[in-house]
Structure 1
Amino acid sequence: MTRSWIGRRVVLAAAVVLALSPLAPAAAVPPSTDLAVPAARSTGAEVVGVTKVADRLTDLSVRSPALGNRVVKVRLLTPDGWSPQSRQHWPTFWLLAGCCGDYTSWSGTDIATIGSLRKVLVVMPEAGWNGWYSDWWNHGAGGDPAWETFHTVELRRLLEKSWGASSNRVVAGLSMGGQGALLYAARHPGMFRAAAAYSGSTHPLLDAESVNRILGFFGGQGDDPLRVWGDPVAQRRIWEAHDPYYLASRLRSLPIYLSCGDGTAGPFDPPGKTDALEADFNRQNHALATALTRAGAKHLTTNFYGPGTHGWSYWQRELHSSLPILLKALKVR
């Protein structure tokens, strides 16, 4: 694989991104209400605004040095008894969005009606349209975003200091967020007690098709596709450091849930629909499952359910399927 070979295909891959990208379901929430921000200030990142969006839904506006002092949003689905002033800390479930969605994405599902989630703090952070849960390689001048540092250092500390999060955490996500969930669990040992990936990008180095597809996403919104992890040949070590397949040994002790369709029409699709993105991710997930088994994973659960495409009906279903594993890891009944 050469850089020129890749370059000829990046334009084509980028052209199909919008056609293949997951869109968030419409969230049914009433108009927001601004709340007072607690007086205590954090070091580094800080909360500069708080908005009550709906019952149990609160948005934080966070200024992040890791993101060049941008202000980004974090949505909290709060447990019963939660308030910004409470000193209690709850088991915490990080729920990550996919590419081309945002921090509101999961709000369009039924998460607010799941009874067991009334006992945990659900954290749904902004991750950029195509941030890939990574500190970008900084190809070129001017600091590129450091999403991994924002989430795992700045936001984690903020939430634990003033917003009721505990160090008892699990993580899950869809598509790009599925990759993020596995990356964070692998790259930050001890931070999460379990991880789940729904239709996740779990082995982007699988083959040329997978490499060029993710480069197409990297190149979305006019970005240089090499800014995120660099060139897949020249900076292969960086790519491998962000590819869950190559981090399988770091995940072997954790409960891991992987699910994916095969890209053909399933129960939530019109007849005859096909989805090349889901088919690619299906192959990646099978490869990761093999790598985890080879590494000695003792708590691996897979649901490779055959017919199914890259869509919210499947991810909502898989969230429900994985919750017993995630809540058990949190010791929530």
Structure 2
Amino acid sequence: MRLRRLPWGRGPRRAGWAGLALALLLPFLAVPAAEQPAYAADGRASGPARSQTRNPARVVAEVPVGDRMLDLGISSPTTDAPVKWVRLLLPKGWSKNASRTWPVLWLLHGGGGNHKDWTANTHVEQLAAGRDVLVVMPETSGCSSYSNWYNGGTWGSPAWETYLLDELRPLLERDYRAGTARAVAGLSMGGLGALKFTAARPGMFRAAASYSGAVHPLYRSPDGGFSGPDAVKLGALTCLVDWKRLWGEPGYPFDTDDPADLRQQWLWKRNSPLEQAASLRGTPLYLSYGDGTTDGGPGWSWGDGDRPPAPSPARCTDPPVHGTQDPVERTVYGMNQELRGRLAQLGIPATVCASQGGHTWPYWERELVASFPMLMRALGA
């Protein structure tokens, strides 16, 4: 039996909210300003990284990990770190010199995670083995929120959206036979990333899946639980940085009683799948989340064979209220309930599985298996 490591760190589960912390990153080495891409007022790269006239990302290491796995060390000033890693699961027949390309599934890690999480905690290698698909699992930071950081209005590094979509993506397409048919999925913070990328870049991804995603950063708990901004602030304590570096301040009704004081709420909304839900129209969507009740476990496991049993549709019980055993998933439940309602209001279809469950890997692997056929259909794999 393999150790199931939680997404926000190694070893036993930490108390509190590191798994839902939407914000923050341990300080990295300073990068000269001349090496950073230019940014528009809303944080989108407007300089070389955005236009692709110059891609500052470069591969500094290739490390084979078995026959079908390759780790790449990437250096880019946009990450504000010396090296960030990306793990590739390679399809049959792949080589850097192949005459063809392969469709791509991006898998995004959660808070505190890295590029090894999916292979360490799930059977994704076996799941993808029979598919004609390249799986890309990038490392960001433990609290990146897959966002370009506001940094008091100066922007600059880290700029995770720019790095992944405008630097790493074209690098893989140029040198590692990644095709232009793409799908994206992620857990917790990665669920936020998967849906916010899909909304921000309509047409870039053919399908998107979120497992226990932190999909509503401006969520207000109606009954005394944590709200979205609370999680950002607690994440800042965990990561030892100023929480305002990520998206600035959310303004009313969170830190002020003045309805006119919205501060940088526009940026919180720009990075919110719920607020940008209209831009998800036309993309096949999969949402799964638990209610915070963990009695009985997921009721599913991979088993001993090479292929898993299909998760039963009966697992999706659609609990009418949240539980209290897992406070992280309790908040995730509220966030996803509101996103689900917004999608319905807009007439945007989505496959939704709301179930009893907590914020842990056994549930996420179950939902990866359940959503995998949808993701592969979208890719034609």
| Corresponding residue number in structure 1 for 2:95 | 83
Distance in 1 (alpha carbons) for counterparts of 2:109 and 2:232: 16
Change (3 A) 1:50 1:242: same
1:210 and 2:259 aligned: no
1:200 and 2:213 aligned: yes
Letter in 1 for 2:376: L
1:225 and 2:231 aligned: no
Matches within 5 A, 1:113-124: 113-115=126-128, 118-124=131-137
Which of 283, 286, 290 is 2:341 aligned to? Answer: 290
Distance in 1 (alpha carbons) for counterparts of 2:334 and 2:72: 37
Matches within 5 A, 1:120-199: 120-139=133-152, 143-199=156-212
| Corresponding residue number in structure 1 for 2:291 | 262
Asked whether the 8 Å contact 2:290–2:359 carries over to 1, the reply is yes
Unaligned stretches of 5+ residues in structure 1: 1-13, 22-41
Which of 316, 328, 332 is 2:377 aligned to? Answer: 328
1:97 and 2:109 aligned: yes
| Corresponding residue number in structure 2 for 1:237 | 266
| Corresponding residue number in structure 1 for 2:61 | 49
Asked whether the 8 Å contact 2:210–2:288 carries over to 1, the reply is yes
| Corresponding residue number in structure 1 for 2:351 | 301
Distance in 1 (alpha carbons) for counterparts of 2:124 and 2:375: 14
Greater helix fraction, Structure 1 or Structure 2? 1
CA RMSD of aligned residues (A): 2.3
| Corresponding residue number in structure 1 for 2:124 | 111
Change (3 A) 1:267 1:220: same
Q: Following TM superposition, by how much is the alpha carbon of 1:325 offset from its aligned partner in structure 2, in angstroms?
A: 1.1
Asked whether the 8 Å contact 2:187–2:212 carries over to 1, the reply is yes
Distance in 2 (alpha carbons) for counterparts of 1:322 and 1:85: 31
Distance in 1 (alpha carbons) for counterparts of 2:324 and 2:364: 17
Q: Following TM superposition, by how much is the alpha carbon of 1:81 offset from its aligned partner in structure 2, in angstroms?
A: 0.8
SS at match of 1:17: coil
Distance in 2 (alpha carbons) for counterparts of 1:169 and 1:128: 22
Letter in 2 for 1:262: D
Q: Following TM superposition, by how much is the alpha carbon of 1:86 offset from its aligned partner in structure 2, in angstroms?
A: 2.2
Among all aligned residue pairs of Structure 1 and Structure 2, give the percentage whose two residues are the same amino acid.
42
SS at match of 2:287: strand
Distance in 1 (alpha carbons) for counterparts of 2:18 and 2:180: 37
SS at match of 1:144: coil
Asked whether the 8 Å contact 1:111–1:117 carries over to 2, the reply is no
Distance in 1 (alpha carbons) for counterparts of 2:270 and 2:153: 20
Q: Following TM superposition, by how much is the alpha carbon of 1:202 offset from its aligned partner in structure 2, in angstroms?
A: 0.8
Count of residue pairs brought into register by the alignment: 296
Asked whether the 8 Å contact 2:78–2:156 carries over to 1, the reply is no
TM-score (norm 1): 0.84
Q: Following TM superposition, by how much is the alpha carbon of 1:269 offset from its aligned partner in structure 2, in angstroms?
A: 7.2
Change (3 A) 1:47 1:289: same
Change (3 A) 1:269 1:194: closer
Distance in 1 (alpha carbons) for counterparts of 2:71 and 2:346: 40
Distance in 2 (alpha carbons) for counterparts of 1:239 and 1:142: 14
String of CA shifts for 1:212-244, please: whole Å, max 9, x gaps: 113322443201111011101110000000111
